[in-house]
Amino acid sequence: MSLRLGDTAPDFTQESSEGTIHFHEWLGDQWGVLFSHPADFTPVCTTELGATAKLKDEFARRNVKAIALSVDPVDAHKKWIGDINETQNTTVNFPIIADADRKVSELYNLIHPNASSTHTVRSVFVIDPAKKVRLTITYPASTGRNFNEILRVIDSLQLTDHHSVATPANWQDGDEVVIVPSLQDEAVIREKFPRGSRAVRPYLRLTPQPNR
């Protein structure tokens, strides 16, 4: 069964390019981005892992740990990392899970038979410190992921977890946000949003983004 938003991300123990990973223990109290790849030594995946490595500081600023997965074994991962580092001008700084037995792929429903009966699809999961799945996106094999969008969603989740707001279409960090409809008490609104708010419609109220 597919994982749904709010489900607990399945725990697992599996080998990786950085040794044995006990997933929930490895995550600790941080956010996680788990993303899967059809196979090692493939062109789009090579660019994706390079892009993720270059975002190390951005992930760290958001208290996020990245971890990749492919069904190939550890020795292939380590050889592939050399290619990634050289071709993408970076250093891979996160583990790649070796899922040759498909254990993690089955837990996260990463084998889609209509796409491939053997290779994992290009999925991404954002997992919060409570180990809950907060975002799932699956891309076709021909399309590389937009990691700026993944960071944008994490920014939104971390903001809206702590304030009574939602983020509108195409929101970027620093833009106006939406006051949630469940908040109706004007005194509470003034207290929560001292920089003011504006009502475009009774159900569409905007306010400057609170400090994260």
Catalytic residues: 45
56 in Cβ contact with 93 (< 8 Å): yes
Structural tokens at position 103:
């254990």
| 190-194, long-range: CB < 8 A, 24+ apart | 192/163, 192/164
Relative orientation angle of helices 147-160 and 43-54, to the nearest 10 degrees:
50
44 in Cβ contact with 141 (< 8 Å): yes
Rounded Cα–Cα distance for residues 158 and 118 (Å): 35
Rounded Cα–Cα distance for residues 64 and 129 (Å): 9
DSSP 140: -
Full DSSP string of 144-177? ---HHHHHHHHHHHHHHTTSSEE--TT--TTS-E
